[in-house]
Chain A
Amino acid sequence: MGFLRITSPHGHGPLSTSKVMQTVLLATLPGVIAMTWFFGPGTLLNILFGGIVALGLEYCVMAVRKRDPLFYLRDFSVLVTSTLLCIALPPYAPWWLIVVGVASAVLLGKHVFGGLGYNPFNPAMVGYVVLLISFPLQMSTWASPRGLADVPGISDALTALFANSQYDAVTMATPLDLMRQNTGLLVEDLYRQKAQFGQFAGVGWEWVNIGFLAGGLWLLYQRVFTWHAPVAMLAAMGLCAAAGFDGGSSESGGSALFHWLSGATMFGAFFIITDPVSSAVSNRGRIIFGALIGILTYIIRVTGNYPDAVAFAVLILNFAAPLIDQYTQPATYGHNRRDE
Chain B
Amino acid sequence: MRTVYAIHGGIHPPEEKHLSHPGKVLDAGLPSELILPLSQHIGAPAEPIVNVGDKVKGGQLLAESQGAVSAAVHAPTSGTVMAIGMRSVPHPSGLENTCISLVPDGADEWITTRGVEDYRAESPQTLIQHVHDAGISGLGGAGFPTATKLLARDRCAIDTLIINGTECEPYITADDTLMQVAADQIVAGAEIIAHILGASVILYGVEDNKPDALKAMQAAVAAQGDVGDREVMSFPTKYPSGGEKQLIEILTGKQVPSGGLPADVGIVCQNPGTAVAVRDAIIDGKPLTERLVTLTGRALGKPCNYRVRLGTPISHLLALSEFTPGSQQRLIHGGPMMGFALETGAVPVIKTTNCVLAPTHEELPAPPPAQACIRCGLCAEACPASLLPQQLYWYAKARDQEQLEKHNLFDCIECGACSWVCPSTIPLVQYYRAAKSTIVEARQDKQRAERSQARFEARQERVEREAKEREAKRAARKLAAQKKAESADAEDPVQAAIARAKARKESVVKSEDVG
- A and B: bona fide binding partners: yes
Nearest A residue (CB) for B387: A332
Q: List CB contacts (< 8 Å) of A11-51 with chain B.
A: 11-13, 15-20
Q: Which of B39-47, B149-157, B374-382 contacts A (4 or more CB under 8 A)?
A: B374-382
- When chains A and B are docked, how far (Å) is the Cα of A75 from the Cα of B370? 11
Q: Please, which residues of chain A bring their CB within 8 A of the CB of B495?
A: none
Q: Which of A98-106, A167-175, A234-242, A274-282 contacts B (4 or more CB under 8 A)?
A: A274-282
A333 at the interface (CB under 8 A from B): yes
B421 at the interface (CB under 8 A from A): yes
Q: Which of A2-10, A141-149, A264-272, A295-303 contacts B (4 or more CB under 8 A)?
A: A2-10
Contact A11 B94 (CB under 8 A): no
Contact B411 A335 (CB under 8 A): yes
CB distance from B229 to the nearest CB of A (A): 20
B11 at the interface (CB under 8 A from A): yes
Q: Please, which residues of chain A bring their CB within 8 A of the CB of B341?
A: 3-7, 10
- When chains A and B are docked, how far (Å) is the Cα of A20 from the Cα of B371? 13
Q: List CB contacts (< 8 Å) of B226-285 with chain A.
A: 245, 249, 254-260, 265
- When chains A and B are docked, how far (Å) is the Cα of A71 from the Cα of B254? 46
Q: Out of A3, A20, A325, name the residue touching B423 (CB < 8 Å).
A: A20
Q: Out of A4, A8, A118, A337, name the residue touching B339 (CB < 8 Å).
A: A8
Contact A3/B344 with A10-B364, A13-B421, A336-B255 known, Cβ cut-off 8 Å: yes
Q: Please, which residues of chain B bring their CB within 8 A of the CB of A305?
A: none
A-contact 0/1 string along B355-377, CB 8 Å cutoff:
00101000011110101111111
- When chains A and B are docked, how far (Å) is the Cα of A71 from the Cα of B369? 9
B-contact 0/1 string along A318-340, CB 8 Å cutoff:
00000001000111111111111
Contact B411 A334 (CB under 8 A): yes
Q: Please, which residues of chain B bring their CB within 8 A of the CB of A231?
A: none
Interface size grouping (class) on chain B: 35 or more
B330 at the interface (CB under 8 A from A): yes
A1 at the interface (CB under 8 A from B): yes
B430 at the interface (CB under 8 A from A): yes
Contact A11 B424 (CB under 8 A): no
CB distance from B325 to the nearest CB of A (A): 7
Q: Out of A8, A325, A332, name the residue touching B385 (CB < 8 Å).
A: A332
Contact B328 A4 (CB under 8 A): yes
Contact B345 A1 (CB under 8 A): yes
B81 at the interface (CB under 8 A from A): no
CB distance from A336 to the nearest CB of B (A): 7
The binding surface of chain B is classed by DSSP as loop
Nearest A residue (CB) for B378: A15
Q: Out of A3, A11, A276, A336, name the residue touching B364 (CB < 8 Å).
A: A11
Contact B258 A334 (CB under 8 A): yes
Contact B420 A11 (CB under 8 A): yes
Contact A8/B338 with A17-B374, A117-B373, A338-B255 known, Cβ cut-off 8 Å: yes
CB distance from B398 to the nearest CB of A (A): 11
A115 at the interface (CB under 8 A from B): yes
B48 at the interface (CB under 8 A from A): no
A-contact 0/1 string along B96-118, CB 8 Å cutoff:
00000000000000000000000
- When chains A and B are docked, how far (Å) is the Cα of A5 from the Cα of B91? 12
Q: Please, which residues of chain B bring their CB within 8 A of the CB of A277?
A: 374-375
CB distance from A279 to the nearest CB of B (A): 8
- When chains A and B are docked, how far (Å) is the Cα of A332 from the Cα of B387? 6
B137 at the interface (CB under 8 A from A): no
Q: Please, which residues of chain B bring their CB within 8 A of the CB of A140?
A: none
Q: Out of B342, B371, B433, name the residue touching A3 (CB < 8 Å).
A: B342
Q: Number of A interface residues, CB 8 Å? A: 46
Contact A16/B423 with A7-B340, A281-B390 known, Cβ cut-off 8 Å: yes
B331 at the interface (CB under 8 A from A): yes
Q: Please, which residues of chain A bring their CB within 8 A of the CB of B317?
A: none
Contact A334/B380 with A20-B423, A282-B388 known, Cβ cut-off 8 Å: no
Q: Out of B331, B371, B375, B385, name the residue touching A75 (CB < 8 Å).
A: B371
B419 at the interface (CB under 8 A from A): yes
Contact A8 B336 (CB under 8 A): yes
Question: Which of A6, A11, A340 is packed against the most chain B CB atoms within 10 Å?
Answer: A11
Nearest A residue (CB) for B365: A12
Contact A6/B421 with A281-B380, A333-B245 known, Cβ cut-off 8 Å: no
Q: List CB contacts (< 8 Å) of B389-414 with chain A.
A: 390-391, 406-408, 411, 414
Q: Out of B338, B374, B377, name the residue touching A9 (CB < 8 Å).
A: B338
Contact A7 B420 (CB under 8 A): no
Q: Please, which residues of chain A bring their CB within 8 A of the CB of B365?
A: 12
- When chains A and B are docked, how far (Å) is the Cα of A337 from the Cα of B421? 29
Contact A4 B366 (CB under 8 A): yes
B505 at the interface (CB under 8 A from A): no
- When chains A and B are docked, how far (Å) is the Cα of A330 from the Cα of B245? 18
Contact B425 A1 (CB under 8 A): no
Q: Please, which residues of chain A bring their CB within 8 A of the CB of B23?
A: none
Nearest B residue (CB) for A275: B374
B141 at the interface (CB under 8 A from A): no
- When chains A and B are docked, how far (Å) is the Cα of A276 from the Cα of B367? 23
Q: Out of B364, B366, B386, name the residue touching A331 (CB < 8 Å).
A: B386
Contact A11/B337 with A6-B330, A332-B385, A333-B386 known, Cβ cut-off 8 Å: yes
B183 at the interface (CB under 8 A from A): no
Contact A15/B421 with A8-B416, A330-B388, A338-B255 known, Cβ cut-off 8 Å: yes
A226 at the interface (CB under 8 A from B): yes
B13 at the interface (CB under 8 A from A): yes
CB distance from B347 to the nearest CB of A (A): 11
Contact B330 A10 (CB under 8 A): yes
- When chains A and B are docked, how far (Å) is the Cα of A12 from the Cα of B406? 28
Contact A337 B364 (CB under 8 A): no
B429 at the interface (CB under 8 A from A): yes
Q: Out of A3, A13, A115, name the residue touching B330 (CB < 8 Å).
A: A3
B200 at the interface (CB under 8 A from A): no
Question: Which of B367, B375, B391 is packed against the most chain A CB atoms within 10 Å?
Answer: B375
CB distance from A75 to the nearest CB of B (A): 5
- When chains A and B are docked, how far (Å) is the Cα of A8 from the Cα of B359? 14
B343 at the interface (CB under 8 A from A): yes
B140 at the interface (CB under 8 A from A): no
A77 at the interface (CB under 8 A from B): yes
Contact A339 B254 (CB under 8 A): yes
- When chains A and B are docked, how far (Å) is the Cα of A325 from the Cα of B377? 13
- When chains A and B are docked, how far (Å) is the Cα of A339 from the Cα of B267? 13
User: Which 5 A-B pairs rank lowest in CB-CB distance, beginning with the nearest?
Assistant: A9-B416, A334-B258, A117-B372, A116-B372, A333-B385
Extra contacts, 8 of them, besides A4-B366, A10-B336, A339-B254 (Cβ < 8 A), are A16-B424, A17-B376, A20-B423, A116-B374, A329-B406, A330-B386, A333-B8, A333-B411
B residues sitting closer than 8 Å to A (CB atoms) are 8, 11, 13-14, 92, 94, 170, 245, 249, 254-260, 265, 325, 328-332, 334, 336-345, 357, 359, 364-367, 369, 371-378, 380-381, 384-388, 390-391, 406-408, 411, 414, 416, 419-425, 427, 429-430, 433
A residues sitting closer than 8 Å to B (CB atoms) are 1-13, 15-20, 71, 75, 77, 115-118, 224-226, 276-277, 281-282, 325, 329-340
List, sorted by A's number, 29 A–B pairs whose CB atoms are closer than 8 Å. A1-B325, A3-B345, A8-B416, A10-B339, A11-B14, A11-B420, A12-B365, A13-B13, A13-B422, A16-B423, A16-B425, A17-B372, A17-B376, A17-B423, A20-B376, A75-B372, A115-B372, A330-B380, A330-B386, A331-B386, A332-B385, A333-B8, A334-B245, A334-B255, A334-B256, A334-B259, A335-B408, A337-B257, A339-B265
